[in-house]
Amino acid sequence: MLYTFAALCFVSVVGLKVFCNAGISGISMNVELIKKDITEQEKKNESLTMKVSELTSFENIKDVVSDMGLAYNNENIIVIND
């Protein structure tokens, strides 16, 4: 009876270890997928930041203003020093 109980405990421990490792593997896979999504989103954010910088450049604004029929007047610019 003691051997049967020991064998049953051994089988239970092995089964529990396999079950836990499968759960950990699933969680690890989810973490890697989330890291991939984060990396892709960071690349999109960087691309959008570059587009914003390009669109807000002085030369681009000057071209848009001239296309709208407006003129650049340096006298209207006020510099505020802290």
Structure letter (DSSP) for residue 10: H
Q: Considering the domain boundaries, does residue 7 fall inside one?
A: no
Q: Considering the domain boundaries, does residue 18 fall inside one?
A: yes
Give pLDDT tens digits for 4-48.
999 999 999 999 999 999 899 999 999 999 999 999 999 999 999
Q: Considering the domain boundaries, does residue 64 fall inside one?
A: no
Q: Considering the domain boundaries, does residue 27 fall inside one?
A: yes
Look up the pTM and report it: 0.59
Give pLDDT tens digits for 63-81.
887 888 877 777 777 777 8
Name the pLDDT band for 57 (thresholds 50, 70, 90): confident
Q: Which domain holds residue 29?
A: 13-44
Number of structural domains in the chain: 1
Q: Considering the domain boundaries, does residue 74 fall inside one?
A: no
Q: Considering the domain boundaries, does residue 32 fall inside one?
A: yes
Exposure string for 42-78, b = 16+ CB within 10 A, e = fewer = eeeeeeeeeeeeeeeeeeeeeeeeeeeeeeeeeeeee
Alpha-helical runs (H) found in 1-82? 2-55, 58-67
